[in-house]
Structure 1
Amino acid sequence: MSEKTSVATRPTGTVQAWVQAAGPPLILVIVLQAGYGLTIADQLAPLSPVRVALTLALFVLDAIGRRLINDYEDHRRGLDTPGTVRPDSSLALGLDMRTVRLVGMTCFALAWALAAYLALTIQPWILLLAVGCYAAYFAYAGGPRPLGHRGLGELIDFVVTGTSVTLLVVLANVGRVDLDGFLAALGPGFLFCALMLHNNARDVPKDSAAGKITLPKLVGLVPTKVIYVTAVTGFYVVVAVVALRWGSPWMLAPLLTLPWAASVAIAVARAHELGESMISWSRLYFVMIANFALFTLGGLL
């Protein structure tokens, strides 16, 4: 069955379709990123089980909201059409896109409420950082000139999605962060940057046809490869430095995935052109899942 046929014949509006559109793999990565941040926080002070639970709930709602709003914006701007959309998107699953937007905004609102509570009950100024992160998300996908359509997606994912959000987890749970904690938070920043770059590199033909300009389109094949390998390597450098500074050999657990990550980076480095002929970005996705899980596990041992 072709992708076009499968899109046209999917059942619409079912619970299964909504669950799939919410992006379970993305939710898993985001929750594990929260675990990564909680591991950093635990190095600074004892954690409150209630705050940990609220933090995880916030991340689930935020992940769903971002996924649905991104689907809606890609549909509204013509980037996703019935013939080109990925099979697990809201459009491909037959969901009403206005309802998708409403649900996405509702999830954002609930996530914001939890973020506000966590900030106001420990350090009110943290709310300003949370506001900045949410503003960056909307600037990335929405508005008349989305930053994600101007080659800034990778920078936003490094600074906001990876680093700042991880720092927010630490601050919302213990109210402070030190130099080692800040350094550790750069790890997710590098991985999210690499993931965005990989996704954009594969989508260059489709994005170009829709008028979307991404970093790989701007810099070309060779610089894309260099940035990609640098970002992937950056995560492992951060983990090694943090483990040494904390004096905890268990924190080196993510290095177990280094051969796996290297194989993905080498495959990308060998690509002859930007586009769908490159390996799937999902291979790096699974590396991220393993890395966040291993870092969290290392903190528990």
Structure 2
Amino acid sequence: MQHQSLSESVSGIKQTNNWRVWWMLTRPHTLTAAFVPVTIGTVMALETGQIHIWLFIAMLLASVLIQIGTNLFNEYFDYVRGLDNENSVGIGGAIVRYGMKPKTVLYLAYGLFGVSVLLGVYICMSSSWWLALIGLICMAVGYFYTGGPLPISYTPFGEMMSGIFMGMVIILISYFIQTGEITWNVFLISLPITILVGGINLSNNIRDLVGDKENGRKTLPILAGRKNAVQILTVFFIVSYLLIGLYIIFAIISVWSCLVLLSLPKPIKAIKEFKRKEKPADLMIAMKSTAQTNTFFGFLLALALVIQYIL
């Protein structure tokens, strides 16, 4: 790869005048993994008193920027390793398909992480500096998902790492910066969202199974097999809804949380699509439905919690 200066990278942004390409590059269907956990964690703090709106906004922006930055690192390192080509399926591959300069993508990812650090400083000043360490770990996971000598995306731990650091950890931080504490109930309620965020990653790996296998990856779907991977995704969905039922039974949350059942058509549609179709190009609906499951489930749960704490 030829050397490219920062000025050349900036000019690359100007040359790419199709805003849709830049929007696609953020991989918008994955952003639900950023804003849903922040919303859940913040809403749960309503029970303890007033919400600090600027801390919520800062946390939301930081989480979204880290997610987008992670997606850009993914784009860049997949290109560097030769995984993307003109025939790549999905949103990835903007470098090879649209002629975007690799260093432009890389520098933008670093820039977004940099802004997240500044937001993190404000959050730490308003809560605890211990969060700086946790935030840096989250960003390191985002970078090393596709970067470094042994990317997480080449292992069967991608679903677990994304679920924990973009699901559970974000919920716990969002609650902590509002209240100054972490409770057992917050941890429990973070579990279904953690599972659903991991499911987004799993759906992506199911779609890319053949290509990933050819490029030496050892993702969960590759090790388990496609049929078993779809079954695992099904279990992810079932467990997430069952946990809500158990929490209602044990009075951890109110019966209003049954609202999450309104999101059931999305996981059902996702599993049907994964079972009926196998070609990567035909699985965008399945992947979209998986991401929408997290979105609708998360916001319906947040709405239920708001109603519970207000009434």
Displacement after TM superposition at 1:189 (Å): 1.0
Q: Provide closer, same or farther for how the CA distance between residues 200 and 274 of structure 1 changes in structure 2, counting only shifts above 3 A.
A: farther
Displacement after TM superposition at 1:29 (Å): 4.8
**Which amino acid in the other structure matches residue 79 of structure 1?**
L
**Which amino acid in the other structure matches residue 210 of structure 2?**
P
| TM-score in terms of structure 1 length | 0.86
RMSD: 2.5
**Selected match of 2:87 from 63, 83, 86:** 83
**Which amino acid in the other structure matches residue 81 of structure 2?**
R
Residue 140 (1) aligns with residue 152 (2): no
Tell me if the contact between 1:139 and 1:146 (Cα under 8 Å) persists in the aligned partners: yes
Q: Identify the range of structure 1 (254-263 vs 133-142) with the bigger mean alpha-carbon deviation.
A: 254-263
Structure 1 residues 52-131: aligned runs within 5 Å? 52-87=56-91, 89-91=93-95, 92-131=97-136
Displacement after TM superposition at 1:247 (Å): 4.5
Unaligned ranges ≥5, structure 1: 1-10
Q: Provide closer, same or farther for how the CA distance between residues 106 and 223 of structure 1 changes in structure 2, counting only shifts above 3 A.
A: same
Q: Distance in 1 between matches of 2:278 and 2:30?
A: 27
Q: Provide closer, same or farther for how the CA distance between residues 29 and 151 of structure 1 changes in structure 2, counting only shifts above 3 A.
A: closer
Tell me if the contact between 2:89 and 2:280 (Cα under 8 Å) persists in the aligned partners: no
- The secondary structure found in structure 2 opposite 1:110 is helix
Residue 37 (1) aligns with residue 41 (2): yes
Tell me if the contact between 2:256 and 2:304 (Cα under 8 Å) persists in the aligned partners: yes
Alpha-carbon displacement from aligned partner over 1:160-194 (angstroms, at most 9, x marks no partner):
22212222222222221211100111122111111
What residue in structure 2 maps to residue 299 of structure 1? 305
Runs of 4 or more above 6 Å deviation? none
Q: Distance in 2 between matches of 1:182 and 1:219?
A: 29
Q: Provide closer, same or farther for how the CA distance between residues 172 and 260 of structure 1 changes in structure 2, counting only shifts above 3 A.
A: same
Displacement after TM superposition at 1:58 (Å): 1.3
Alpha-carbon displacement from aligned partner over 1:191-237 (angstroms, at most 9, x marks no partner):
11112111111111111222222111112134313321121112212
Structure 1 residues 106-255: aligned runs within 5 Å? 106-244=111-249, 245-255=251-261
- The secondary structure found in structure 2 opposite 1:281 is helix
Tell me if the contact between 1:126 and 1:172 (Cα under 8 Å) persists in the aligned partners: no
Q: Distance in 2 between matches of 1:94 and 1:175?
A: 47
Aligned residues: 290
Q: Distance in 1 between matches of 2:125 and 2:245?
A: 34
Q: Provide closer, same or farther for how the CA distance between residues 61 and 260 of structure 1 changes in structure 2, counting only shifts above 3 A.
A: closer
**Which amino acid in the other structure matches residue 13 of structure 1?**
T
Q: Provide closer, same or farther for how the CA distance between residues 159 and 103 of structure 1 changes in structure 2, counting only shifts above 3 A.
A: same
Alpha-carbon displacement from aligned partner over 1:75-104 (angstroms, at most 9, x marks no partner):
111111122253565323432121111011
Identity %: 23
Tell me if the contact between 2:168 and 2:194 (Cα under 8 Å) persists in the aligned partners: yes
Q: Distance in 2 between matches of 1:298 and 1:15?
A: 40
